[in-house]
Amino acid sequence: MEEKRYLPHIAYDSVIFGFSGNQLKILIMKYHNTGLFALPGGFVKMDEDLNAAVRRGLKERTGLDNIYLEQFYTFGDVARYQSGVMKTILEANGYSVPENHWMLDRFISIAYYALINYDKVVPTPDALSDSCDWYALDKLPPLMQDHRLIVEKALQTLRDNLERKLVGVNLLPPLFTMNELQKVYEAILGEKLRRTTFQRKMLSLNFLQRHDKQYSGKAHKAPYLYSFKQ
């Protein structure tokens, strides 16, 4: 955490999406003894690529490599930064903070969103925080600074990209039912979709591989299992 190891004035924040219980959820950190909630973020080392810094942070918080990751906006308003907030966090962790500490400066933040398989993640807090947990999008705690805005822009970008990119492959396990895939789309779009239309559209896109049926033990026809081709 000492000065000169990281680029000053530059940070990143990540909106990490997972899917569980038919809901879209994101990872939120809680800082020690402050009641402050924040997106997982971090800094860029002097000799480190920006994208590599974000992947390093994701690895630390989720334990996962090779995450689907997309940069979507850089937040650079002066007003987004209040130096008092960071001072509170550092002092609550027992650091004595000089007035000119580099972490109290103004920061620009490059924001990314990530899509991961919920079941494979072990959320891990960092040194400054006492928890790192999943929160459903409609039950987020109040977030510090402009992090709420960052989440909303991430979700908007994800919606805009939904038709162009293969989103499901990153949020679902290797085998899944058509109904589960539909629930992912509904959670992202925030609206119900027609079952039959959805099924035909997905099949027509020709990226699904059909496998044996799954017998759920329920009193109805067993659904096929699917995986993503290639």
Structure tokens at 26: 């994101």
Tokens representing 32?
């020690």
Residues 159-198 that bind its own copies (CB under 8 A): 160, 164
Site for its own copies in 43-72 (CB under 8 A): 44, 46-51, 71
Instruction: Say whether residue 204 binds DNA (CB under 7 A).
Output: yes
Check binding of 149 to its own copies (CB under 8 A): no
State CA 175 to chain mean position distance.
22
**Is 159 one of the binding residues for DNA (CB under 7 A)?**
no
Return the residue of 1, 22, 35, 74 that touches its own copies, per CB under 8 A: 74
Between 19 and 81, name the residue whose CB sits nearer to its own copies: 81
Q: Shortest approach of DNA to residue 191 CB, angstroms?
A: 12
The CB-of-47 to its own copies minimum distance in angstroms stands at: 6
Kindly report the number of other CB atoms within 10 A of residue 60's CB atom: 14
Taking the least distance from each CB to DNA, the nearer of 4 and 164 is 164
Long-range pairs for 183-191: beta carbons < 8 A, 24 or more residues apart? 183/19, 183/22, 184/19, 187/19, 187/22, 187/23, 187/24, 188/24, 188/155, 188/158, 188/159, 188/162, 189/159, 189/162
Report the distance separating Cα 196 and Cα 156, nearest Å. Answer: 26
Which residues contact its own copies (rule: CB under 8 A)?
7-10, 44, 46-51, 71, 73-79, 106, 108, 110, 160, 164
